[in-house]
Structure 1
Amino acid sequence: MMTNKTTPFNKIEKIINDTLTIFKLAQEVPQMSDSSFNESQKICHNIPVCIREGRLKIAVVGVIKSGKSTLVNSLVGKELVKRGAGVMTSITTRIQKGTKNQANLYFKSWDDINFQLKNALLLFPDDGSSKVNHNFDIRRKKDRKYLKNVYQTLSQDFPVTKDGIHPETLLIRHALHGFNTCKDLVQADRATLSFASKEFDRHKAFTSDPNMAFYIKDVCLDVYGKVIDPNIEIADCQGTDSTDPASLSQVLTYLESSNLIVYCISSRTGVRQSDITFLKQIKNLGLLDNILFVNNCDLTEHENFDDLIKIETSIRDTLEFLEIQPQIFSFSSLYNLFVKLESKLRKKDFSRLKLWQEEKKMVEYCNMKTDEFNCLFKKAINKKRHELLVSNHLKRLLVMITQLDRRANVFLDLLSSDKLKEEKAFRNLRHLHQNASRLESIVANSIQGAVSGLKDEIESNIKATFVQDEKAILKKAQKYIGTINLDVEQYRSVAKESGFNQILYLLFQAFKRKLDLYILEAVNPELKRFVEVQEERIISYFQSLFDSYQIDLFKADQYSQFDDTLKLTQQNDFTASVDINKIKKILGLKLPARIFEAKYTPRIKANIITGFCLQTLSQIVTSISKRNSVVSFSPGLKKAAEKIKKENQKILKDQFKQYKISLQTNYFLPLIEAATRDFKEKISERFNRYNTFKEEIEHLFSLKHSEKKDQKKKVHTIKQAIASVADEIISYSEISWEKG
């Protein structure tokens, strides 16, 4: 299922070898090769490596208990990730082909861990010992003792809400319970723990245990054998209905880099509210074009075939209501896994398999849908694989041999026994060289001024977005804060026992969590689109400059006698003006971490406590005057909640301004400056080629007639070989990988 038996590498390698042979033949013709040949040959040698190392990313996602891990196991035909009742995927696990079975667990650093915990402890009352929160380090015994006290307070006084256990409570619990197991594995820098061969399955204890998973940043399983294609990475993502924004952010980040999403829905529950919420987030990120839906059937839950179809129809109707045109496949991942592992099943599981097989109509339908899914899944992978791993390389090869074909045309003219043709070709070359020299001088004097215009344009766009708020990012965020409902009534029963400060902690954490989720769902996609538009503008700007500063020494119309020449001369120069992604990688450029973040400053705290005291005092005075012994904390808590919201609406404005400065100064300006340097180097290299070529060509005019005849014969052979390879590339580009 996960392997591609008919790989096209042999065909590609033949094309590459034929191309290298052509370059070798060209080097045998005096002066025909230049410095670009070495680079072209290097590219040819690297293409097979790039194809083998390139990987498509497939994300298997869904809410908790939708059968994601079982689906992943069924796709690869092995029990790679832990599954079953009571087991939850606690961290995204990536699976790749390897030279041996090896599980690699990448741990967080102590700084990563303490930062998470300090955020969870933010605003928790610490009896005046503010140093504990500020300098918190879980490695210190006194800080762990403090953390245990916090956990006991939260779990006893605020054990559960309508949304479940508070995420902060869960995070602290996982940190405490996993500490002893992981304390010697975590380092100052991010460390790796590997389990190979017979110890491979030990990774399951970490990935399925949320206490240990808290200390892990990433997991990658290298699997030996034919269970997975070498160009595929499949990820078993944690449940997307987590109330922890950090966990959700991790899943969304992987989805953004993935090439295909398989979304699991349990047939026991159908589409849940948490599914709807997450699918809206996927839609906001523009990822719905590459998604397949699996109605993961629990065959023991359905009385008959009609019941299964009813669930499938309900799922389809709900997804269409969300304006999603779904491709849904109903089958049992567990049944498919058991079929693949039948000879290795335990007696209990073997009995379950035989029992399911008695439901013939249901099983036949699921088998049919499994085949349909496998077929579409394979087609999607093959298409993406060709686009990502092959198509660009073929285009590059085609451009290289096209340029060589043009060069061959020039040489045929220069090697001509016709004196008039020879003189005309030389005049054309001299004229082009003069133009190139003039243009080189213009470029040297004008490039800085041209790029300053780009900087002004990007700066203007940033100003429009972050100062004038044209996209209403700030306005919408402030409006959202005003709509946040912080339910203080749920704390009424514990207000007296727990105290105002502890309730205030939970109010702020609830506010912070809701704002973080809003940023993930609404703000980050908008920022991503803005940055992508600016980067595309930078690329197009430099490309237009590159094209305008280009002189083609090998234009076909300069050598009109070659009417039967290779019909590839319309291909554009494949050389990109600037490689934005490569520049970002070299510079380590990343977007500023956060645009908005909930804050609780000392001034806000003082105002809230003062307001609460005044409100409570007013309540006491009123109760005395009315001889009423009941004093409610609710009005004071409501005012505190409103104060948190209003103060953060003001803080957002300053954060928006700071993000603008950081984005412009630390991201776009370094990016443009590095792109300018890269551009100058490519332009300089191009002009150097013009100069070198002129010097080399002059040598051809000194050759004797017999020498020219021999060289001309070689060039014709080269042109025939180029035409043959070009036909191979074009025909191969038009067929799919399935046929390859």
Structure 2
Amino acid sequence: MNNFTEIKEQVVCLNDEIKQILSKLKKISEINNSSVARWEETLSIIDKQITEDMLRVAVVGAIKSGKSTVANRLIGGDYLRRGAGVVTSVVTRIHNGQDLKAKICLKSWDEINRDINQAIIVFPSLSFRPDSGKFDIRNDSDRQRLNEAISSMDEKLHISSDARNEHSVFLTSYLKGYDDIIRITGGKSDYIEYDSDHFQDHGQFAGNEILASFVKDMELEMNTGKLDSGIELADCQGSDSPNPFHLAQVQDYLLKTNLVLYVISSRTGLRREDIRFLSMIKEMGVIDNIFFVVNFDFNEHGTLSDLKRVIEKIRDDVSLIKPSAEIYSFSGLFSLFQITPEIAETKDRQKYDMWLNETAFKDFNDSQFNAFFDSFTNKLSQKRYALLLKNNIEKMNIVAGSLAHWANLNLEIIKNDTLNVKLIHENGKTHQKKMNQIQKIIISTLEGEINKLKKGLKREIDAFFDEKYGDVIPGVIDFIHNYTVDFNIYKEHFKDVGFSNTLYMIFREFKQNLDSYMTETVNPKIIRFSKSVDATIEETLHSVSKPFESVIRDAVKDYQNAMDNAGLIFDVDLLQELPLPAIETVKKSSGLALPASGTITHYSSFIKTEAFLRYGFYSVFDYIRNVFRRSKTTSEKEGAHALVGGIMRIKLETEKSIRFYFLNYRENLKFKYIFALADALSIEVNGVLNERFNHFSGDLETISHRIEKRSLGKESVSDNFMEIVQKTKTIHQQITDIRHKIDVGLN
């Protein structure tokens, strides 16, 4: 990555030089027209993109696979809490910075209250009601009564699939952590920053299950010399986390990611959960940019041959999803201790000292890590060359050429006393009129194409979300219809905790499974569909703009000929092509993005409205009470029948909510993202095409004004214009050299 950093610095310096030339040209030629404003804007955008844009690397894998340890090795220190396991509930982003710093963004009170209100939709305690109908964690009475309701619940209600239920964990964490959050923030801020002296304090959020529930985003800054500026490394939650919202957060980050490191423990190999997650990544369309790391500890394998057999088995399993995948095997912990042996605690130090004597493992580890790091950094460099530099230097070349053109024009005016001012003015007006006509045609064509494109996209979107034949809704409805409950499992629960609590447990399992289906199956399909739509938009608008390249080229040639005939000769190439904007760049600049993946489970907010206030549990409970009153001893058969009726009602209302949710989701996706993105890209394409005119033609009135004043300060400014011409020629040559270096870096 050193080559990239060197080239990036050269590009930044060249951009600054062009800015200085533009400033000088403005001063000596007295120009201050729309072209100048656009040149300044272009250079400013280039500066921002090169200095601020990030390449993102996601480190993912199953819980306890060693993700944080591998990430620490890449960072160059023991900054991320190792072994945090399932409690890691937020993507932790790491940047290069001047000082050691941790920035924690907490959820707002509204977001926390929304989480809690979602979790208590099917709360079994009928005695619990928030004061205002909506729970507010800042209300002492609400917190106290919810805490009492949770405490009064049977212990079995806190268990789901042999583990603590996520709803119980969620609610309990918020209640237990409230006082600590108030103490830390004063209740007035949702942002916390720890400097180098208190950096380790951020661990109470990353590794504390209770406080972690309050975290929305965590960013760490450090200057270790291992992580280049412009690179963001993210330590993600476990791919096998039982919480669907954790998976949704990882999905959101993967959408922004340029490279993925998938860590597999040699102890477990590729498990069913890994295969499911990797299949999801493949469905999302981000499987191409992935590295696999088999993380091992020396003491877990008797011999190197044993380890290699495990690796080959993992390679075979991975090839079913990603053929010819890049797979490297090394010990994240040993590699971390190699560069920072001082961090090893007593137990780890003994392990490290013992591993140093395992020559075969050590040599294999070092060889594999070096091969991985070389390939990893080369891939990053290639992407950085392509994404950050290649297009920007072409834009710089256009601006530099335009400045050279303007300086040459002024030189010709100053030096040539035989210029035909009238002819220049007449030819210029004719040329400007032609340019204006072409610009109108471009705008009209793009508007027509956008309208046509939107009609086609509307059909695609509506078909994708069609309730009968679409790609997602029929599958969700089938899942609901086919979901079965083994009532034999709940017989004992029915006896121990009663009807309402048993129905609560059934619904909780149902919703957990439906949330997982929505996150693992529906989300990837929507993401893949949106990517195909993005590609259609980009391909269509780039395609419709192509014919205008030749039109613009012809118009520029006509302009040159017109000026030649009037006595103005330019030693500048005005026919350079400006690259069309990439849709990913437009998405960043416009702030457009798919709805967050976590919103896919918000269908339950409609269930609350429809099922639990109007029909829901409470009406079912009334029915059951009436049944029970008719007989003092309710048989298991009657209880099972009542539960069947309850779950049927729940499934029916869930289906209604799903349909209503997707109707809203479809329209939001259509108008707030896809159509808005098409409009934004159209505006950018139009701007690029018009920019060709603006850079080449300049302000003809200013040219005429310069001709009329050419006798004023003739000698004093000609040297300055000549200097600008020479500088732009030098810049053009430097850009040519950089372009060659970039091409080498990409190959």
Scaled by the length of structure 1, what TM-score is found?
0.84
Is structure 2 residue 219 aligned with structure 1 residue 220? yes
- SS of 1:370 mapped into structure 2: helix
% identical equivalent positions: 27
- SS of 1:11 mapped into structure 2: helix
Aligned partner of 2:234 in structure 1 is 235
Partner amino acid, structure 1, of 2:617: K
- SS of 2:490 mapped into structure 1: helix
- SS of 2:6 mapped into structure 1: coil
Q: Distance in 2 between matches of 1:42 and 1:79?
A: 42
Q: Distance in 2 between matches of 1:567 and 1:444?
A: 26
Q: Is the 8 A contact 2:534 2:583 kept in 1?
A: no
Q: Distance in 2 between matches of 1:227 and 1:444?
A: 48
Q: Is the 8 A contact 1:478 1:649 kept in 2?
A: yes
Q: Distance in 2 between matches of 1:222 and 1:119?
A: 34
Give the direction of change, closer, same or farther, for the CA distance of 1:616–1:261 in structure 2 (3 Å limit).
farther
| Residues 506-551 of structure 1: per-residue CA shift (max 9 Å, x gap) | 2222222222222223333333444455566666777758986986
Q: Is the 8 A contact 1:72 1:236 kept in 2?
A: yes
Aligned partner of 2:615 in structure 1 is 603
Is structure 2 residue 652 aligned with structure 1 residue 640? no
Q: Is the 8 A contact 2:330 2:368 kept in 1?
A: yes
Match of 1:697 among 676, 695, 703: 703
Q: Name the stretch that deviates more: 704-713 or 47-56.
A: 704-713
Aligned partner of 1:493 in structure 2 is 492
Aligned partner of 1:482 in structure 2 is 481
Partner amino acid, structure 2, of 1:191: D
| Residues 384-438 of structure 1: per-residue CA shift (max 9 Å, x gap) | 2223332232121022223345556766877796969988766542321232455
More helix by share: 2
| Residues 554-595 of structure 1: per-residue CA shift (max 9 Å, x gap) | 71354368999666724137689998536743x999689448
Give the direction of change, closer, same or farther, for the CA distance of 1:361–1:155 in structure 2 (3 Å limit).
farther
Unaligned runs of 5+ residues in structure 2 are none
Give the direction of change, closer, same or farther, for the CA distance of 1:279–1:151 in structure 2 (3 Å limit).
farther
Q: Distance in 2 between matches of 1:110 and 1:736?
A: 48
Q: Distance in 1 between matches of 2:403 and 2:262?
A: 48
Q: Distance in 1 between matches of 2:671 and 2:744?
A: 48
Partner amino acid, structure 1, of 2:704: E
Give the direction of change, closer, same or farther, for the CA distance of 1:651–1:215 in structure 2 (3 Å limit).
closer
- SS of 2:225 mapped into structure 1: coil
Q: Distance in 2 between matches of 1:259 and 1:385?
A: 10
Give the direction of change, closer, same or farther, for the CA distance of 1:703–1:144 in structure 2 (3 Å limit).
closer
Partner amino acid, structure 2, of 1:360: T
Partner amino acid, structure 1, of 2:249: Q
Is structure 2 residue 501 aligned with structure 1 residue 502? yes
Q: Name the stretch that deviates more: 726-735 or 251-260.
A: 726-735
Q: Is the 8 A contact 1:178 1:212 kept in 2?
A: yes
Aligned partner of 2:665 in structure 1 is 659
- SS of 1:374 mapped into structure 2: helix
- The alpha-carbon deviation at position 493 of structure 1 amounts to 1.4
Q: Name the stretch that deviates more: 704-713 or 326-335.
A: 704-713
- SS of 1:174 mapped into structure 2: helix
Alignment of 1:145-224 (within 5 A): 145-152=144-151, 156-158=155-157, 160-162=159-161, 164-185=163-184, 191-224=190-223
Aligned partner of 2:337 in structure 1 is 338
Q: Name the stretch that deviates more: 606-615 or 166-175.
A: 606-615
Q: Is the 8 A contact 1:414 1:422 kept in 2?
A: no
Q: Is the 8 A contact 1:3 1:227 kept in 2?
A: no
Partner amino acid, structure 1, of 2:560: Y
- The alpha-carbon deviation at position 480 of structure 1 amounts to 2.4
Q: Distance in 1 between matches of 2:151 and 2:253?
A: 35
Alignment of 1:565-714 (within 5 A): 569-572=575-578, 580-581=586-587, 584-585=590-591, 593-594=599-600, 597-598=603-604, 599=607, 600-601=611-612, 602-605=614-617, 608-609=620-621, 631=637, 633-664=639-670, 693-699=699-705, 701-702=707-708
Residue correspondences, number: 732
- The alpha-carbon deviation at position 375 of structure 1 amounts to 0.7
- The alpha-carbon deviation at position 132 of structure 1 amounts to 6.0
- The alpha-carbon deviation at position 36 of structure 1 amounts to 2.4
Partner amino acid, structure 1, of 2:200: D
- SS of 2:288 mapped into structure 1: helix
Give the direction of change, closer, same or farther, for the CA distance of 1:104–1:662 in structure 2 (3 Å limit).
closer
Q: Is the 8 A contact 2:64 2:83 kept in 1?
A: no
Give the direction of change, closer, same or farther, for the CA distance of 1:324–1:424 in structure 2 (3 Å limit).
farther
Q: Distance in 1 between matches of 2:731 and 2:53?
A: 24
Q: Distance in 1 between matches of 2:18 and 2:379?
A: 30
Q: Distance in 2 between matches of 1:409 and 1:577?
A: 36
Q: Is the 8 A contact 1:331 1:370 kept in 2?
A: yes
| Residues 434-492 of structure 1: per-residue CA shift (max 9 Å, x gap) | 32455677889999888665655554444444457664322222122223344433322
Give the direction of change, closer, same or farther, for the CA distance of 1:187–1:386 in structure 2 (3 Å limit).
farther
- SS of 2:193 mapped into structure 1: strand
Aligned partner of 1:386 in structure 2 is 385
- SS of 1:603 mapped into structure 2: helix
- SS of 1:339 mapped into structure 2: helix
Give the direction of change, closer, same or farther, for the CA distance of 1:353–1:220 in structure 2 (3 Å limit).
same
Q: Distance in 2 between matches of 1:273 and 1:79?
A: 30
Aligned partner of 1:320 in structure 2 is 319
Q: Is the 8 A contact 1:107 1:186 kept in 2?
A: no
Output the aligned Cα RMSD.
4.6
| Residues 650-680 of structure 1: per-residue CA shift (max 9 Å, x gap) | 4333333333444456556777778889899
Aligned partner of 1:307 in structure 2 is 306
Aligned partner of 2:286 in structure 1 is 287
Give the direction of change, closer, same or farther, for the CA distance of 1:4–1:419 in structure 2 (3 Å limit).
closer
Alignment of 1:406-555 (within 5 A): 428-437=427-436, 456-466=455-465, 471-532=470-531, 544=544, 555=556
- SS of 1:477 mapped into structure 2: helix
Give the direction of change, closer, same or farther, for the CA distance of 1:153–1:395 in structure 2 (3 Å limit).
farther
Unaligned runs of 5+ residues in structure 1 are none
Q: Name the stretch that deviates more: 242-251 or 720-729.
A: 720-729
- The alpha-carbon deviation at position 211 of structure 1 amounts to 1.1
Q: Is the 8 A contact 1:486 1:507 kept in 2?
A: yes
